[in-house]
Every structure is written in C-alpha cells, then in structure tokens.
C-alpha cells in the first residue's frame, strides 16, 4: 500500500495538474516560496537542497543567495522541464532520478522541503528524515514548511487562504473556477483514497527530535497560507541523540 500510494502521487505530479488557478497564481506562489526560503539560507557560501521543488520558477532568487542550489523532484517530466529552464544557470544543479543518495554526505547547509510531507506516508517520513540528516553538515538545518494541521476545518482554512491570496494577487475569478475544477479532479480523489498527512506541531517536533533534529517553529509559514506551519530544525550531534530518544 505504501508503494502504491507513493506511485499514485508520483503519477499525478508527473502529469498535467490543475493545482494552480492560473499562470499568475503559479508565478506568485513560486515567487513567495522562493523569497521565504531564501531568508533561511545561512549565507552566500551555502549549499542548499530544495527537495520536492516542483517547477521552481523562482529558483534563481534562491540561487542568488547561496553558492550552489540543488533542485530535486521525483517526477521525471518535472526534472526535464527544470533542466531546460535552468540550463544556463551556473549555480543551479538538477539532481537526477533517485540520485539523492549520491549527493555527498555532510555537504549541505540547508535542506528545504516545502509542501511535501503531507503526500508522504508517515512511515516513509522517518526514512526521509534520516536521508536528509545524512546529507547535512554538522551545523546544517532542515526546513519543513507548509505543513497542514489536524485542526478541525483545516481544509476549509486552505480554501479561505487561497481566496485571500487570490484577492491580493488579482486572480479571484480564476481561483473560484479552480476550486470548482478541483472538486471533481483526480487530486481530490487521491487525497481521499490515499490519504493526506496532517500533523500537530508538537507531534512532528517530537518526531524530528527522535530523528536527530532540534526543531523550532517559525513565526510565519513559508508561502501564502498562514493557517499551516513551518519548522526549522538544527541537526543534533550523534552523542546527544541517545539522550533525546530516551522515553
């Protein structure tokens, strides 16, 4: 079931999706996400990985604040578009296929995973946390952002956040049409059939501690939806993990 869920989501993101109400919505979304992630880059010499980056339309904004930006997405069609889009960007590297394991251990200053773990089965999240931790430098940090909560009415909150964003961004009519389209889409069906992970901040923070991180909740979520939350986690040194893992 776990592999079937992962493959179903991968097939969805690898095809033509209707997540964005319009090209303007898509552009504004990536601009805001890139701006917010760029604020967490520790310095101009940093090596940064954007894991599950999607189209990454504003990646050059992030790349301008670091020495090297690695973009990883599991969907082959997305990777091909990234390769064409950023072929002339010397600071941007597209991580190919399942080659993240080939990225040198302890070589990254920041791993960012925005709007990702809700599509990952909880049991797979532990594997990802271990992988990300292995790629981070001892002082490296993990940014998990745009995480849905288990609060009642969270789905309605997402709708309201989109409508507020569309009002500010000037695409209200497109947003209303998009919401109607999504109601009958494969996205809604997949969320219902395969599950959509949501977390209470304290529960996810404890999971991060048991995986070798010390998390802090950011005062603002990455992106437009302030009904969701973001965690910035520092890597705990190995000698301290045993203490953190004790019941």
Query: Would you say 29 and 20 are in contact if contact means Cβ atoms under 8 Å apart?
Result: yes
**pLDDT score, position 247:** 46
b/e map of 142-165 (b: 16 or more CB within 10 Å)? bbbbbbbbeeeeeeebeeebbebb
**pLDDT score, position 134:** 96
Those residues with Cβ within 8 angstroms of residue 215's Cβ, 6 or more apart along the chain or in another chain: 144, 204, 205, 208, 209, 231, 232, 233, 234
Least confident piece of the model among 11-15, 81-85, 98-102, 178-182: 11-15
Which domains does the chain show, CATH number per domain? Answer: 23-150+197-245 (3.40.50.150)
Q: Find the helix or strand (DSSP H, E) in which 145 lies.
A: strand 136-147
For 175-225, the pLDDT digits (tens) are 999 888 877 766 766 666 666 788 999 999 999 999 999 999 999 999 999
- Of residues 175, 233, 157, the one with CA closest to residue 201: 233
Cα(174)–Cα(28) distance, integer angstroms? 14
- Per-residue pLDDT for 63 more than 90? yes
Phi, psi of 146 (to 5 degrees): 55, 50
CB atoms within 10 A of CB 213: 25
- Per-residue pLDDT for 31 more than 90? yes
Cα(14)–Cα(11) distance, integer angstroms? 5
**pLDDT score, position 12:** 74
Least confident piece of the model among 6-20, 78-92, 96-110, 124-138: 6-20
Least confident piece of the model among 3-12, 77-86, 96-105, 168-177: 3-12
The three state secondary structure string of 193-224 is HHCCCCCCHHHHHHHHHHCCEEEEECCCCCCC
Q: What is the value of pTM for the model shown? A: 0.90
CB atoms within 10 A of CB 8: 15
**pLDDT score, position 2:** 56
**pLDDT score, position 152:** 72
């Amino acid at each position: 079931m776990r592999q079937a869920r992962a493959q179903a989501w991968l097939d969805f993101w690898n095809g033509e999706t209707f997540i964005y109400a319009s090209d303007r919505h898509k552009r504004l979304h990536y601009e805001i996400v890139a701006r917010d992630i760029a604020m967490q880059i520790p310095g101009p010499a940093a090596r940064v990985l954007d894991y599950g980056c999607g189209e990454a339309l504003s990646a050059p904004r992030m790349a301008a604040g670091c020495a090297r930006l690695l973009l990883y997405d599991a969907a082959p069609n997305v990777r091909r578009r990234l390769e064409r889009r950023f072929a002339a960007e010397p600071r941007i590297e597209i991580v190919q296929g399942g080659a993240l394991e080939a990225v040198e251990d302890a070589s990254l200053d920041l791993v960012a995973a925005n709007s990702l773990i809700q599509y990952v089965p909880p049991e797979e999240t532990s594997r990802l946390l271990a992988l990300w931790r292995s790629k981070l430098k001892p002082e490296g940090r993990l940014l998990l952002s745009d995480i849905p909560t288990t609060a009642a009415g969270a789905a309605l909150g997402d709708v309201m956040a989109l409508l507020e964003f569309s009002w500010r961004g000037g695409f209200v009519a497109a947003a209303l049409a998009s919401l109607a389209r999504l109601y009958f889409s494969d996205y809604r069906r997949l969320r219902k059939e395969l599950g959509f992970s949501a977390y209470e901040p304290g529960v996810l923070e404890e999971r991060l501690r048991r995986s070798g991180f010390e998390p802090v909740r950011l005062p603002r979520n990455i992106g437009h939806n302030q009904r969701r939350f973001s965690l910035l986690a520092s890597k705990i040194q190995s000698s301290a993990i045993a203490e953190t893992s004790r019941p």
